[in-house]
């Protein structure tokens, strides 16, 4: 006899685990399946920057809610998330100044602590930053970064405490239907039944949707990060910096390292098979990332490269996720396509998934802008910037 659950979640990344925690806390009998292990996919490789700078009210509110969870993680979730409050700076070009100011007004309206900085203020916070080309800089003193692996595992543990079962090393190979509704999954081990299935498969999201006969525009794209050891005199570190002028972001990493990645819409072009792509970093990337870093942080000319890796973004055409029951009434929910900026939103997303499924009362965050049909309706989610990942 197949094991029966109220809800089956496919994927044990941040979205699968936050959803499992919220749903099991709400009283549902939940099972999470991952073909590998918890956080082993892109979540564990995330730069895990937690900023609130978004240009849509909904995503900004989701980021603020999630930051509050990261700040108070032990009490609210239990365990550790490794949140480090380093501050966050967004540096933009003259053409984006008006957009930045509009974003800050929107963010302040909903309670986010953020301000514009003068060059003198910037040097107080990061003396080594080169500022002669800067026209506008936004700063969030409360933002920072977390440890993605600790975070996702703490959520998995919390889900278990609320009664969820987690099956690792168990791949979903088919989604089963009875009439027009899902009825369960078949896996590499056995069959499990449930009237609700949530696709939290990230970069595998389109592939898993296809098992249910659903097409979603989610591409799996290869992205890289590099690490550099800061030279003597710079051990203390710096805030998280999103440098839109040089299309890079960087943050502290333990061991006196600085982690660097790109903010580049062309990353969406590097479509790969999520099961077979180069997981090591290209030599060319170290040169490119290092050069861009030095333009903003000249002292890093003397830094030492200490490696890096490649992982995956799950990118949709508008760089926002799909969070929807597709088709309506089927019991098959898609919660994938977080387009390189999902980690920080994880706590809010878990709550949204639980509220969508329980469908009681007014939701904390209305997920309708993330409906799957927005692409065919010609109503993508739009932001203020051409740097789509900012959201
Ligand atoms: C290098 C990098 C840097 C990033 N930096 C940031 C950042 O600074 N801030 C931020 O907010 N976000 C960042 N992100 C994005 C963020 O990490 C992702 O949006 C988020 O982790 C996605 O989580 P997920 O749960 O949707 O998917 P994933 O972490 O991809 O989890 C999906 C899981 O599904 C499993 N799975 C797939 N198919 C099946 C199947 N058939 N059966 C069972 N299991 C299956 C996989 O094994 C995987 O574990 C970054 C991402 C990367 C790669």
> Percent of the chain beyond pLDDT 90?
90
Nearest ligand 1 atom, CA 208: 41
Mean pLDDT along residues 46-56: 96
Q: Provide the pLDDT confidence category of residue 264 given band limits of 50, 70 and 90.
A: confident
> Given pLDDT bands bounded at 50, 70 and 90, which one contains residue 383?
confident
338 lines ligand 1 (CB under 6 A): yes
Q: How confident is the model at residue 97 (pLDDT cuts 50, 70, 90)?
A: confident
- From atom 19 of ligand 1, which residue's Cα is the shortest distance away? 342
* DSSP string over 24-89: HHTT--EEEE-SS-TTTTGGGG---EE----SSHHHHHHHHHHHHHHHTHHHHT-S----EE--EE
Q: What is residue 94's predicted lDDT score, i.e. its pLDDT?
A: 83
* Ligand 1 proximity of 374 Cβ (cutoff 6 Å): no
- Say yes or no to pLDDT of 391 above 70: no
Average pLDDT of the chain is 95
CA of 320 to the centre of ligand 1 (A): 14
Rounded CA-CA distance 270/103 in Å is 30
pLDDT score for 389: 58
Contact call for residues 104 and 60 (beta carbons, < 8 A): no
Residue 109 has pLDDT above 90, yes or no: yes
- Both tokens assigned to 119: 């060059």
> What integer pLDDT is reported at residue 378 of this predicted model?
96
Band of residue 95 on the pLDDT scale cut at 50, 70, 90: confident
Q: Does the bond joining 323 to the residue before it have cis omega, within 30 degrees of 0?
A: no
Of the pLDDT bands very low, low, confident and very high (cuts 50, 70, 90), residue 96 is confident
Distance CA 277, CA 140 (A): 36
Q: For the segment 166-184, what is each residue's pLDDT rounded down to a tens digit?
A: 999 999 999 999 999 999 9
Does ligand 1 lie within 6 Å of residue 34's CB atom?
Answer: yes
DSSP 109: H
- Which atom of ligand 1 is the closest one to the Cα of 203? 30
Residue 45 beta carbon below 6 angstroms from any ligand 1 atom:
yes
Question: Is the CB of residue 270 below 6 angstroms from any atom belonging to ligand 1?
Answer: no
The answer, yes or no, to whether residue 318 has pLDDT greater than 90, is yes
CA distance 205 to 331: 16
Residue 1's pLDDT is 81
Is 386's pLDDT higher than 80? no
pLDDT of residue 223: 98
Residue whose structure tokens are 């502290």? 252
Any atom of ligand 1 within 6 Å of the Cβ of 46:
yes
Least confident of 94-108, 120-134, 376-390: 376-390
> Residue 211 — pLDDT band, cuts 50, 70, 90?
very high
DSSP strand pairing (196-199 vs 7-10): parallel
Q: Whose CA is nearest to atom 3 of ligand 1?
A: 46
Over 70: is that where the pLDDT of 390 sits?
no
């Amino acid at each position: 006899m197949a094991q029966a659950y109220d809800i089956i979640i496919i994927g044990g990344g941040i979205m699968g685990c936050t959803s499992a925690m919220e749903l099991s806390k709400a009283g549902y009998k939940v099972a999470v399946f991952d073909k590998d292990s918890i956080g082993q996919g892109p979540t564990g490789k995330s730069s895990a920057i937690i900023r609130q700078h978004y240009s849509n009210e909904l995503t900004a509110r989701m980021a603020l809610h999630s930051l509050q969870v990261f700040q108070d993680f032990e009490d609210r979730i239990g365990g550790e998330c490794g949140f480090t409050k380093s501050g966050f700076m967004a540096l933009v070009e003259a053409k984006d100044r008006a957009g930045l100011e509009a974003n800050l007004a929107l963010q302040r309206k909903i309670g986010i602590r953020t301000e514009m900085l003068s060059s003198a203020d910037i040097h107080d916070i990061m003396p080594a930053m080169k500022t002669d080309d800067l026209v506008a800089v936004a700063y969030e003193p409360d933002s920072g970064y977390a440890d993605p692996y600790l975070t996702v595992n703490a959520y998995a543990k919390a889900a278990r405490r609320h009664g969820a079962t987690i099956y690792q090393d168990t791949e979903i190979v088919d989604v089963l239907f009875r009439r027009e509704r899902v009825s369960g999954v078949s896996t590499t081990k056995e069959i499990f039944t449930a009237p609700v299935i949530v696709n939290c498969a990230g970069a595998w999201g389109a592939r898993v949707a296809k098992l249910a006969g659903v097409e979603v525009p989610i591409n799996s794209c290869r992205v890289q990060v590099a690490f550099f050891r800061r030279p003597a005199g710079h051990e203390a570190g710096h805030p998280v910096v999103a440098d839109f002028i040089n299309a890079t972001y960087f943050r502290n990493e333990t061991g006196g390292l600085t982690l660097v990645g790109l903010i580049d819409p062309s990353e969406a072009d590097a479509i790969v098979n999520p099961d077979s792509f180069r997981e090591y970093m290209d030599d060319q990337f170290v040169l490119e990332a290092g050069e861009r870093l030095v333009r903003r942080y000249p002292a890093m000319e003397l830094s030492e490269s200490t490696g890096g890796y490649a992982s995956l973004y799950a990118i949709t055409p508008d760089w926002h996720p799909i969070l929807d029951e597709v088709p309506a009434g089927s019991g098959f929910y898609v919660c994938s396509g977080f387009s390189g900026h999902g980690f920080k939103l994880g706590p809010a997303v878990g709550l949204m998934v639980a509220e969508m499924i329980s469908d009681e009362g007014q939701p904390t965050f209305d997920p309708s802008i993330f409906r799957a049909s927005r692409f065919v309706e010609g109503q993508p989610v739009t932001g203020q910037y051409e740097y789509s990942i900012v959201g």
